[in-house]
Amino acid sequence: MEPTPARYDPIADFYADFASGPPTKLVDLALLDLVGDVSGLRLLDLACGHGRFARALARRGAEVVGIDISAALIAKARAAENAAPLGVTYVHADAAAAHALAGELFDGVVCGFGLSDIDDLDGALATVARVLHSGGAFTFSLLHPCFPGWGANRNSSWPPGGYYQEGWWLLEDAPPHFLRGKVGANHRMLSTYLNALVRNNLRVEAAVEPPQPAEWATEAPGAAPVPVFLVARCRKSLVSDMGENSATDAV
């Protein structure tokens, strides 16, 4: 069963240009640093888009599968793979669906700025937990849920109603180069993300809050520094860590 058309389908060309080239920004490097050595590992790139992170991980020695709900972006990812093969496999599917990636297992899952594009967070995290080997890592980056934006820079994680207004929102009257004026985003409080991870047996073990890009700061000189990005690595709990299901508790 094919997933429904995605918000990114009509703007696939714009997005591929918007996020072109390999991941080299500070926040991207922070994500790759938390992922660590991937040589010989089988990884899933969740919400892979046109394959930037999938290809970066493959270049570092991983066997990579990418999944995305956007048929247009998957087509671009496959075209890039055909043009310069790295052994990446791309799957067009809704990662939040209960049947997604049935029977697959991975050593790690990576998601670069994809969680706020996914409407069903619990469904996606349930998939992550299901396809991860016990003890495997889930590493993700996102625009910090606590970032309100400022001045001319409206890359805020928050909708106009403020931090406590959760849900999908679209930036009205956005400049033509602003992605969130084209596809919107799901804003969730930090506690919502943390509780969803806990519900899905994914334990946070490391987190980084990379600094803002220099060009953002120049748009609001003197603005108080606030967290802009959040990068975290979670670990799927080992069976022996799962309370009543542990071998020690059964003795």
Judged against a pLDDT cut of 70, whether residue 165 lies above it is answered with: yes
Give the count of domains, the chain: 1
Q: What angle do CA 114, 193, 25 make, to 5 degrees?
A: 40
Q: Is residue 232 in a domain?
A: yes
Cα-trace Rg, the chain: 18
Whether the Cβ atoms of residue 7 and residue 97 lie closer than 8 Å to each other: no
Averaged confidence pLDDT in the chain: 89
Q: Quickly state the pLDDT bin for 250 (edges 50, 70, 90).
A: very low
pLDDT of residue 178: 80
Q: Is residue 27 in a domain?
A: yes
Question: Bridge partners of 203?
Answer: 235
Q: Is residue 246 in a domain?
A: yes
Q: Is residue 157 in a domain?
A: yes
Mean pLDDT of the region 37-50: 98
pLDDT of residue 37: 98
Domain range for 95 is 9-250
Q: Is residue 68 in a domain?
A: yes
- For the stretch 57-113, pLDDT in tens is 999 999 999 999 999 999 999 999 999 999 999 999 999 999 999 999 999 999 999
Share of the chain above pLDDT 70, in %: 87
With the CA atoms of 144, 147, 152 and 154 taken in that order, what torsion angle do they form, in degrees rounded to the nearest 10?
60
Q: Is residue 114 in a domain?
A: yes
pLDDT of residue 147: 87
Find the helix packing angle between 52-59 and 26-35, rounded to 10°. 50
Q: Quickly state the pLDDT bin for 194 (edges 50, 70, 90).
A: very high
DSSP 36-88: ---TT-EEEEET-TTSHHHHHHHHTT-EEEEEES-HHHHHHHHHHHHHS----
Q: Quickly state the pLDDT bin for 29 (edges 50, 70, 90).
A: very high
Q: Is residue 2 in a domain?
A: no
Most confidently modeled range among 109-113, 156-160, 219-223:
109-113
Q: Is residue 192 in a domain?
A: yes
Judged against a pLDDT cut of 70, whether residue 230 lies above it is answered with: yes
Return the CATH number at 95: 3.40.50.150
pTM exceeds 0.75, yes or no: yes
